[in-house]
A and B are shown apart, each in its own frame.
Chain A
């Protein structure tokens, strides 16, 4: 039976705590008697027969939906959309969940005689998936059957001929959708719900939409009013997507939603990375040796080689649930499974929140974690992994650990480079950034060209990364980055510190000398349930 997540109060006997630090690690001693560490739950058991579980889910849908086989018929137009390269994190060992689910759907479609089938990577404004990434996600059989015939495509949010406006929500939000998906008799959406933010109406309303639609909820106001965006019932981001879902339900295609959850087995229980999943006081002598060897070995490598090693890591995480049917009903079940893995009860807020940021976030798979993504991972994703109240009090301090290199992947993140060099050089104010710069980036012809023909994130994407941190930026009194490139950290508007001790000293200017400290031991992922 896996142990649940828990909160450790730090005393003088507590060993140094692991902080992820990009493609490396730090061991840090936290101040005794005023610090605590929140540990994630151990991995939940995997489904013993995942393929059978998938078939059962497709045939026994939840909510107001017939079983999938009843929705399939010869002569129909079927589209299968699926989550893109941003999920799961890290990419999983083969077979990917998407492969398992899509193969099951295709088997049923074949049995029903459906021959007009297309697959779409629902990437919204993310970069296109490469052929090898698609092959990894879908498996050889699916890839080889569809890709050579042009039936496996990346969604193109800048192709006016392939978008259709479905209507407008009561709040005036335009709902635009991929034409093939919108005009299908049935749209099957295959999710990997890594965190509670994923899935629901966000899958189709965001993943298959365009800038015209996304701008309604990917903005500063929405993100400031999403407290948090990991808590769907208190997330304006989700409220907007749910309103759009109403329009899709009334004017769009019939949707059969498939959602899957996965466990916390990110680094495995055996092998070189297994120690990262253990609690420090339970490290054996062998764990200590292997950790030290790993750390020292990594330090000898160039940054590029370190990155290559980590980006090649395929996680052994496994499926813990699969549910299918009507979008909202499916999603409520999914949330229960997600929370079962991630939620850790925590009493009270802290003055200082510390976090070690790992090498990966949703937008740098097979890529570089540039400074804007560091900001987004820390202030966006990690900060928002709470329910109830933020882990850190209003006006408190966030200390993040990451090398934050002034480095970008030019193919994947061209507009990020310009955002960093030109926008952040002028202002880090999210409201000003949104008003002064967003439109010109969103409509830039070169970015559009690179998004459509190469592997670039959309021109507006770095803005969304910045907005993702809006709630944290509005909430925090100071943000400090330990061990980061000083110039890059300052460009972000944060304060650099060489060591955690220095950072805590700097934090004391804001929250005093006896401030409480809470460290989130993430990854594997945890979500604080703060009361």
Chain B
């Protein structure tokens, strides 16, 4: 099979850090990521199946990994070498003689069915019984056993040496990870389901009420999806989105933002949206009030600082983007009694009416309703991976949102 594989190589990792600093995605050419012909991944257990990725997205966390920017926090919960790619729509390859089909899927003549991967490797996928309390609640993203069980450490498919990943022609998945795709849904829509699930979880875990002023910082893929998720599942009084580029502004508005502002305008915009007072003689030096909820979909020191700048006392900041190492003044967190929380992955959500639903089910709904397939801006074959990663790293400036690998025409081998 053909795969982009991330190998443990300190020298290449250092080179990726340098190249990544010079240009986003630069680590792809000199770092530990390599296009390889490798042996097919073996099934780790009886409930595992082979899948053939059709489209696999490039995510912000993938880019951080490729450019050597990912936190060392991940070291004990990934296993090398791994094939990245956790935003995946794939064909399910039923084992010979199997009669089982994924519920709701349409069989193809070659015996495959389209599925979306829910990549978190929780207790069930790891063959752990009884499952941990988080998995028992359905909160897979909070699984307490991600380095244990029948497969090596790996918080998700795409970071585990035993599962392979979406940036390849083949990988394996536990049946519990697979969601059938309706025939009417395009591959482009289906590949947006996983990041949409992240956004849905972020929106619903932020405890937004209909009287809140909510800020979404950043209008890349996650920011736009969070905007759509908030608008659909937990609409606030006012939704302010910070967008840097024209196409992001247009999409943010289309997906439900009430106000879209440029990054440098956020303090003034929040002040006005909330009617709060500000310290400063015409300049907003500091807000006295602020937004009720901020979703930081950037994850940089600057964006976290911005979040703390525009949140009201006792407000809630949700880190949706992977923040990594940040340097910031926590005084406002203390003085204003703020809540700073993360939103990682997905599992099961509690809706306003108290019902509990799988995040992926909500994400499927949202992708279809908001036509999120439109956010897939460009696809590349694996051999052009450096170009693809550079495009994804510079998506905003280049008028793109989601960049993905298209594996539908990909040959199994390079030669």
Contacts and interface: CB of A to CB of B under 8 A. Distances in A.
Interface of A: 409-414, 417-418, 421-422, 425-426, 440, 444-446, 449-450, 454, 456
A152 B269 CA distance: 36
A250 B269 CA distance: 45
A454 B281 contact: yes
23 contacts: A409-B282, A410-B280, A411-B281, A411-B282, A412-B282, A413-B282, A414-B282, A417-B282, A421-B262, A421-B269, A422-B265, A422-B268, A422-B269, A425-B260, A426-B259, A440-B272, A444-B272, A446-B271, A446-B276, A446-B278, A449-B277, A454-B281, A454-B282
Contacts of B265: 421-422
B129 interface: no
Contacts of B277: 445-446, 449
B285 to A, nearest CB: 10
B131 interface: no
Nearest to A444: B275
Contacts of A425: 260-261
Nearest to A450: B282
A414 B280 CA distance: 10
A142 B275 CA distance: 40
A423 to B, nearest CB: 10
Contact of B283 (A410, A422, A445, A449): A410
The 3 A-B pairs at the shortest CB distance, nearest first, are namely A410-B282, A414-B282, A411-B282
A440 B281 CA distance: 20
A451 to B, nearest CB: 11
Contact of A445 (B262, B275, B282): B275
B272 A418 contact: yes
Q: Taking each of A411, A418, A456, which has the highest tally of chain B beta carbons within 10 Å of its own beta carbon? A: A418
A413 B281 CA distance: 10
A449 B261 CA distance: 24
A422 B281 contact: no
A456 B282 contact: yes
B247 to A, nearest CB: 15
Interface string B115-158: 00000000000000000000000000000000000000000000
Contacts of A413: 282
A449 B279 CA distance: 11
Interface in B239-288: 259-262, 265, 268-269, 271-272, 275-278, 280-283
Nearest to B259: A422
B281 A450 contact: yes
Nearest to A414: B282
Contacts of A449: 277
Contacts of A456: 282
Contacts of B268: 417-418, 421-422
B145 to A, nearest CB: 48
B177 to A, nearest CB: 43
Interface of B: 259-262, 265, 268-269, 271-272, 275-278, 280-283
B312 to A, nearest CB: 14
B13 to A, nearest CB: 41
A421 B261 contact: yes
A193 B261 CA distance: 41
Nearest to B283: A410
A418 B261 CA distance: 10
Contacts of B262: 421
A139 B126 CA distance: 87
Given A413-B282, A421-B269, A449-B277, 5 more contacts: A421-B261, A422-B265, A425-B260, A440-B272, A456-B282
A445 B287 CA distance: 13
A412 B275 CA distance: 19
A444 B269 CA distance: 13
A445 B276 CA distance: 7
A248 B277 CA distance: 36
Contacts of A454: 281-282
Nearest to A448: B277
A410 B280 CA distance: 9
B286 to A, nearest CB: 12
Nearest to A421: B265
Contacts of B278: 446
Contacts of B281: 410-411, 450, 454
A450 B277 CA distance: 10
Contacts of A450: 281-282
Contacts of B282: 409-414, 417, 450, 454, 456
Nearest to A413: B282
Nearest to B260: A425
Contacts of A409: 282
Contacts of A421: 261-262, 265, 268-269
Contacts of A417: 268, 282
Q: Taking each of A410, A413, A422, which has the highest tally of chain B beta carbons within 10 Å of its own beta carbon? A: A422
A413 B283 CA distance: 10
Nearest to B280: A410
A6 B271 CA distance: 51
A456 B283 CA distance: 11
A425 B268 CA distance: 14
A449 B275 CA distance: 12
A329 B155 CA distance: 86
A143 B13 CA distance: 73
A450 B285 CA distance: 14
Nearest to B271: A446
A410 B269 CA distance: 15
B407 to A, nearest CB: 40
Q: Taking each of B268, B272, B280, which has the highest tally of chain A beta carbons within 10 Å of its own beta carbon? A: B272
A410 B277 CA distance: 15
Contacts of A440: 272, 275
Q: Taking each of A422, A446, A456, which has the highest tally of chain B beta carbons within 10 Å of its own beta carbon? A: A446
Nearest to A410: B282
Contacts of B280: 410
Contacts of B276: 446
B357 to A, nearest CB: 35
A414 B275 CA distance: 14
A364 to B, nearest CB: 14
A425 B259 CA distance: 9
Nearest to A412: B282
A14 to B, nearest CB: 43
A414 B281 CA distance: 8
Nearest to A437: B272
Contacts of A411: 281-282
Nearest to B277: A446
Nearest to B264: A421
B193 to A, nearest CB: 32
A450 B261 CA distance: 23
Nearest to B273: A422
A410 B268 CA distance: 12
B272 A422 contact: yes
A246 to B, nearest CB: 37
Nearest to A409: B282
A158 to B, nearest CB: 15
A409 B282 CA distance: 8
Nearest to A420: B265
A92 B317 CA distance: 54
A445 B289 CA distance: 12
A106 to B, nearest CB: 34
Given A410-B281, A414-B282, A445-B277, A422 B271 contact: no
Contacts of A445: 275, 277
A487 B25 CA distance: 30
Contacts of A418: 268-269, 272
Contacts of B283: 410, 414
A308 B216 CA distance: 41
A133 B260 CA distance: 39
A454 B277 CA distance: 14
B276 to A, nearest CB: 7
B275 to A, nearest CB: 6
A418 B271 CA distance: 10
